Chain A
Amino acid sequence: MPQRSNLIDKVLLSRNGNALLNAVTVLPTLIKINKDCFVREAALSLSVTTEEMSVRVGAIVDARAELEGPLLPILHDVQKEFGFVPQPALQIIASRLNLSRAEVHGVASFYHDFREEHPGRHVLKICRAEACQSMGADRVANHAKRTLNVDWHETTADDAITLEPVYCLGLCACAPAALMDDKLVGRVDEDRLDTLIGEARS
């Protein structure tokens, strides 16, 4: 969970004109201003204007709005569209679905699969559930962390791989299991992991 932020980007959005809107992008990183005040700053290379986001998220919401309980399918679609669920998208979803900001935040933050930040080019998930643990998943995971020089939920410096834990991939018979993007891999050990990482980085 990120630190409590005063969400300065939101305040600025509502008070100012387009110039500022354009500066807000979909790749937020928390920049500390003072003890408990943060502002989300943009990585300009991947910038999407708020207007553009409004259009793209709006289209997703419109396509799903008639479903009973449309929020989860919409969040999935948004993640597919942007690679993560940008905070401004949550506000757009809330207002379109006539929900409060809090409700949408509550749902999005409940599911670990909805990412708050842009992932690397590939996402590597290593199972940490009981069966895999008993077959050496922790050892594999430690190896991954060392090799990639990241902790859980972090992305490598070359932006190639984001490492995430997962709790059961339904592949207990072939434990330990991992998932590289959409590809399931069984009986993962250090060597197999190095191969996967090598492929991803190539």
Chain B
Amino acid sequence: MSLVTEIDYGTPAVTSEKTVTLNIDGFDVTVPEGTSVMRASMEAGIQIPKLCATDMVDAFGSCRLCLVEIEGRRGTPSSCTTPATDGMVVRTQNDRLKKLRRGVMELYISDHPLDCLTCAANGDCELQDMAGAVGLRDVRYGYEGENHVKTRQNGEENPRYMAKDESNPYFTYDPSKCIVCSRCVRACEEVQGTFALTIEGRGFESRVSPGMHEDFLSSECVSCGACVQACPTATLQEKSVIEIGQPEHSVVTTCAYCGVGCSFKAEMRGDELVRMVPYKDGKANRGHSCVKGRFAYGYASHKDRILNPMIRENINDPWREVSWEEALTYTANKFRSLQEQYGKESIGGITSSRCTNEETFLVQKLIRAGFGNNNVDTCARVCHSPTGYGLKTTFGTSAGTQDFDSVEHTDVVILIGANPTDGHPVFASRLKKRLRAGAQLIVIDPRRIDLVRSPHIKAAAHLPLRPGSNVAVLTALAHVIVTESLFDEAFIREKCDWSEFEDWAAFVADAKNSPEEIEKISGVPADEMRKAARIFATGGNGAIYYGLGVTEHSQGSTTVMAIANLAMATGNIGRPGVGVNPLRGQNNVQGSCDMGSFPHELPGYRHISDDGARDIFEKLWSVKLNDEPGLRIPNMLDAAVDGTFRGIYIQGEDILQSDPDTKHVAAGLAAMECVVVHDLFLNETANYAHVFLPGSTFLEKDGTFTNAERRINRVRKVMKPKNGYADWEVTQNLAKAMGLDWNYTHPSQIMDEIAATTPSFAGVNYDLLEREGSVQWPCNEKAPLGTPVMHIDGFVRGKGKFVVTEYVATDEKTGPRFPLLLTTGRILSQYNVGAQTRRTQNSVWHEEDLLEIHPHDAEQRGIRDGDWIRLASRSGDTTLRTKITDRVSPGVVYTTFHHPGTQANVITTDFTDWATNCPEYKVTAVQVSASNGPTEWQVEYDEQAKQARRILPTIDAAE
């Protein structure tokens, strides 16, 4: 193994149909028109010296190292800013150029520390490389003149010297090593789109400045790492590299945080992870990253990680560490005896959206084939199950229609119920890049998210609707499109069912669905809705991106179908730049749904009652499968309280914290006889567990994750599991303990089984993934390299189906006792229940959940910024601190759910989506009042958690 090195072409690739041929140092090169001479040269294998150029950002032409001679042109133009033209003859090396370059390097080095041997970038420094490349042998100017390097100059403090900025937990900024190439500034602007960096001053005084001469942590920086990656020297350097040293090998793998599915190079020294570097060939992220994927991997080696299996008879007992064999035998016996006593249906399991496709497949196989029932569910139940239902109904597939590259061809974006700059940051950066290039954005969200207005981004329209009125607003948009004849009749006639369209059109055209009427329900000005509808219908390629603000409602499935209606009515399906794009939450929530994690569906979304589908599995697995759907998570908990559901195997999911109505979840878990938690940490759910099976991180196993664009990305093992076994091995061993004859020796064999049984995965195998990097399902005979854009030649289900989307107000209503509406969301630095990110230094950005409240509502209640408040709903109450902001409208409050101390889900209700039981997290009627401490529930909970996490000291077995 060696370091995966990526070629830096110096300037970004150009897409142009037309090509030009030029001659560089005697070799002919043909490149797309508009390509720089520098890039053309690199494509021919000739590297022109450079410092300020890198192919992630546009050419800048400041370092004067990449000068070349071009026949017929005067002077020595910089190759990075000179486009290649037909017939051009370029010389990259001759005596004159060599002399010029040496002169430039002398100037650079005269103001740069000469501490290469002890520098963290030693071996990974472009300045060092270039000094070598130009043959720098001495510096005529010496090092004694004015400089930024020395702390003292001529016996006095050197006013130009700036101390290292170590405020960011993950990287340092050492101004004394800066060559002012502006790569970091440009990366922050062009790649990340935050504009947090600048060059302050001018001439010799120029230095990189975060914000207004601030430190990194207090500046606008979001710690995505793009600047660190762009820096050619040690000026911006990962602290891990400073601490550990340079990596010696690397492995390409996939991030295990959100559904964007970024590819990273895990750079290793031995089995120690030195750093994660975004991979330019990653088709989801194209070389970009966010603070979570890039830096927040410290949880993998956190002291809280449990590495030995543990059991206990009673949840009030302390844990007892046991051998794997004992834990698995105990579990298998317990499960079997529960089934004997209470029936086959008395146990079940939950697959994890954090684990690989192969692991998820095995868990559902264990349940269907081993437990002999269909009591399997997954966390998609509480997030995107309405997406599955809604898109299957309208289009025929349960997934987004596009790849992320599609956004580069989009002209108008509707963003509804999603906050990508926090939840899906790398996609947000790609979207922002397109918006800066001129695309328009319509935001439908109760909160003024960053994309409504932030540097260089301004939404064309923001519809700040009341939580719960999504369907009404989308139908009002459709009303405008239909009544103003802005729909795409040709598309609808060709691709959709015309009579269903007519029914739908008649419904939306009804005056009760007009923006003027809907304004009364949603609080959004009618004019704004009309404007938004017109922009979307007439602005060119229209794409809709959405998140959990759409699905986690009592009408979640209806909203998804209303989105699909809108896309079909405007002809925005089936080509790049358009489509319906759910931004999936977890790294593999798409995959866990694909792998048959729902109680009614076999892998590939085939209903369990489908004899043909069942037959395939029955033959392969030599078992008889139950043809009745099993229990969903809320049903399992209900049944547990009723006493009919007695045992559960939960892989990598913390339902106590993530599922609605915490008290009900706790009661359900407490009622079971055998709760098996398979996780990295003693999570909140484990407080109610009898068996704890330690899990492995994404760094410790092979497999695949499927991201929001249906892309199957490889996850590669970079170190051996600290707990002894990869999760798929644990599940296999449990299956064996239960008497099943499973003998997988590598996850690729599981993928082969998936491909053999699931038509949309038929062409997938590890060799293909190795060759292609990744593929998007469907991947089969018809599409051997996968399907970036779906429904091109018509919808998967045949004709696109328009569904009438009648608005039904949720039962969760405000009233005198609970006059405010609570909605919830995420923040950039933390991830979901926070089990991982809270165990990293990301907490410096977000130590606790805060309640956002409008100044008007706060003043009425006498609440000041930062006060402790009591947040109460019909379900329960909790306390947290406030943040007064006009990001939320009056009447709406907002919080995140990353910290178990807050337990935001004590507040949420048990109302759910009518079709899929997805909980209505996004609407809860609440009251906010002053408070001076934790609620009784929080105190009790903390006490219980403390008790439940006790582990008996290990005693060496003497006998």
Contact = CB atoms under 8 A, between A and B. Distances in A.
B456 A99 contact: yes
A93 B211 CA distance: 14
B207 A1 contact: yes
A125 to B, nearest CB: 17
Interface in B155-170: 159-160, 162-163, 165
Interface string A93-110: 010001111111110011
A99 B202 contact: no
A99 B455 contact: yes
Interface string B665-697: 000000000000000000000000000000000
A4 interface: yes
A195 B39 CA distance: 62
A90 B162 contact: no
Contacts of B162: 3-4
Contacts of A1: 159-160, 200-201, 205, 207, 213
A113 to B, nearest CB: 11
B203 to A, nearest CB: 10
Nearest to B210: A102
A101 B215 contact: no
B195 A99 contact: yes
Given A109-B201, A110-B202, A98 B458 contact: yes
Contact of B200 (A6, A100, A109, A112): A109
Contacts of A100: 194-196, 198, 211, 220, 455
Interface in B167-213: 194-202, 205, 207, 209-213
A5 interface: yes
A101 B211 contact: yes
B499 interface: no
Given A1-B205, A4-B213, A6-B214, A102 B165 contact: no
Contacts of A112: 202
Q: Which among A91, A102, A112 has the greatest number of chain B C-beta atoms within 10 A?
A: A102
Nearest to A102: B198
B213 A7 contact: yes
Contacts of A101: 211-212, 219-220
A80 interface: no
A7 B165 contact: no
Given A15-B865, A110-B202, A102 B218 contact: no
A110 B213 CA distance: 13
Contact of A106 (B198, B456, B865): B198
Contacts of B197: 102
A67 interface: no
B198 A5 contact: no
Nearest to A109: B200
B453 interface: yes
A109 to B, nearest CB: 4
Contacts of B212: 7, 87, 90-91, 101-102, 104-105
A11 B214 CA distance: 11
A103 B215 contact: no
Best-surrounded residue of A5, A7, A99, A101 (most CB of chain B within 10 A) = A101
B220 A4 contact: no
Nearest to A111: B202
Interface string A15-52: 10100000000000000000010000000000000000
A100 B200 CA distance: 14
Contact of B213 (A36, A105, A111): A105
Of B207, B209, B458, which is in contact with the most chain A CB atoms at under 10 Å from its CB? B209
Interface in B864-909: 864-866
**Could you say which of A2, A104, A109 has the most chain B C-beta atoms within 10 Å of its C-beta?**
A109
Contacts of B194: 100
B551 to A, nearest CB: 31
Contact of A5 (B213, B219, B454): B213
Nearest to B198: A106
B204 to A, nearest CB: 11
A102 B189 CA distance: 11
Contacts of A15: 865-866
Interface string B781-822: 000000000000000000000000000000000000000000
A7 B218 contact: yes
A72 to B, nearest CB: 14
B198 A103 contact: yes
B196 A36 contact: no
B218 A106 contact: no
A103 B195 contact: yes
Interface residues of A, number: 29
Nearest to A94: B455
Most A Cβ at <10 Å: residue of B198, B212, B218, B458:
B212
A11 B211 CA distance: 13
Contacts of B866: 15
B209 A106 contact: yes
A105 B866 CA distance: 30
B239 to A, nearest CB: 18
B456 A102 contact: no
A103 B455 contact: yes
Nearest to A16: B865
Contacts of A7: 212-214, 218
Contacts of B199: 106, 110
B452 to A, nearest CB: 11
A105 B201 CA distance: 9
Contacts of A104: 212
Nearest to B165: A4
A104 B194 CA distance: 14
A110 B218 contact: no
B163 A4 contact: yes
B201 A110 contact: yes
Interface hub of B159, B162, B198, B207 (most chain A Cβ within 10 A):
B198
Contacts of B218: 6-7, 10-11
Contacts of A10: 218
Contact of A98 (B159, B201, B453, B864): B453
A1 B200 CA distance: 9
A144 B453 CA distance: 50
A45 B200 CA distance: 30
Interface in B606-648: none
B402 to A, nearest CB: 28
A98 B163 CA distance: 31
Nearest to A106: B198
A10 B220 CA distance: 13
Contacts of A6: 214-215, 218
B200 A106 contact: yes
Given A4-B165, A6-B215, A105 B205 contact: no
B455 A4 contact: no
A17 B859 CA distance: 13
With a 10 A CB-CB cut-off, give which of B215, B453, B455 has the most chain A CB atoms. B455
A106 B205 CA distance: 12
A56 to B, nearest CB: 19
Nearest to B458: A98
Contacts of A94: 455
A65 to B, nearest CB: 13
Nearest to A91: B212
A24 to B, nearest CB: 15
Nearest to A3: B162
Interface centre among A2, A94, A100 (most CB of B within 10 A): A100
Interface of A: 1-7, 10-11, 15, 17, 36, 87, 90-91, 94, 98-106, 109-112
Given A4-B213, A102-B195, 17 more contacts: A1-B200, A1-B207, A1-B213, A2-B213, A7-B214, A36-B163, A90-B212, A100-B195, A100-B455, A101-B212, A102-B209, A105-B198, A105-B213, A106-B209, A109-B200, A110-B199, A110-B201
17 contacts: A1-B205, A1-B207, A6-B218, A7-B218, A15-B866, A98-B456, A99-B195, A99-B456, A100-B195, A101-B211, A101-B219, A102-B195, A102-B198, A102-B209, A102-B210, A102-B220, A110-B200
Q: Which 8 A-B pairs have the closest CB atoms?
A: A106-B198, A100-B195, A105-B212, A102-B198, A100-B455, A109-B200, A101-B211, A101-B212
